[in-house]
Amino acid sequence: MSVEAQLREQICLLAKSMFDRGLTGGSTGNISARTPDGGLVVSPTGTSFGRLDPARLSRFSPEGRLIEGDPPTKEMPLHAAFYDTRATTGAVVHLHSCHSVALSMLPDADEDNFLPPLTPYGIMKLGKVKLLPYFLPGDPAMGDAVRGLAGRRSAVMLANHGPVVAGKDVEAACNAIEELEDTARLALLTRGLNPRVLSAQEVQRLVTTFDVDWDA
């Protein structure tokens, strides 16, 4: 099996795992990854994470032309913005995960640092998550908003919509976006209970030890 064929299988396997565990439902969410030649494979528009077909994934050339497969997700400008502004990006995942969306709707949500520092892995895998305003689904302005961050964030939260995370590969991106949803769930479960959060010193030690991009 070729490297690209393995990548296609991995995308579908991880997408189905997230779908089966309720992290995104129906035909929501999209996922993309770099191919060995510098192109992209992308989940098609209107498809379910639970039923992706490796052979029908949208395939883009290194120049950005659709060369085979079904029509891609309408969120391509969002994916392209991460690839174009973060050289380390090997994959991008976008979900409509319930707890993170719910947290984005609350009036006191922090736009610059969306997730409270509840666990070490939320810091290590995501750094600071930027909360972006609501956009019409498919609006190219979402990509413009990500480009405006100039590559400083690997994860953003689209208000009333869902998280988007870039990683060095598909597995890393999926692991990180699951951490984002888990942290959002913890934030909601402990809301109003005055939970112990990580101190500034504890956060800084994580940032230093694990080389987290935190000050952007």
pLDDT tens digits for range 96-128? 999 999 999 999 999 999 999 999 999 999 999
**pTM of full prediction above 0.75:** yes
Q: What is the pLDDT of residue 69?
A: 94
List, in sequence order, the alpha helices (H) in the chain. Answer: 3-20, 76-85, 98-104, 120-126, 141-147, 170-189, 200-209
Instruction: Give the active site residues.
Output: 75, 121
Q: Phi and psi of 175, rounded to 5°?
A: -60, -40
Does residue 216 fall inside a structural domain? Answer: no
Per-residue model confidence as pLDDT tens digits over 182-214: 999 999 999 999 999 999 999 999 999 999 988
Total domain count, the chain? 1
Taking the C-alpha atoms of 113, 119, 123 and 125 in order, what is their torsion angle to the nearest 10 degrees? Answer: -120
Domain that holds residue 52: 3-209
Q: Are strands 155-158 and 130-132 parallel, antiparallel or unpaired?
A: parallel
Residue 214, domain member (yes or no): no
- CATH code where residue 105 lies: 3.40.225.10
> Residue 9: inside a domain, yes or no?
yes
pLDDT digits (tens, 9 = 90+) for 34-82: 999 999 999 999 999 999 999 999 999 999 999 999 999 999 999 999 9
Please indicate, yes or no, if residue 215 is contained in any of the structural domains: no
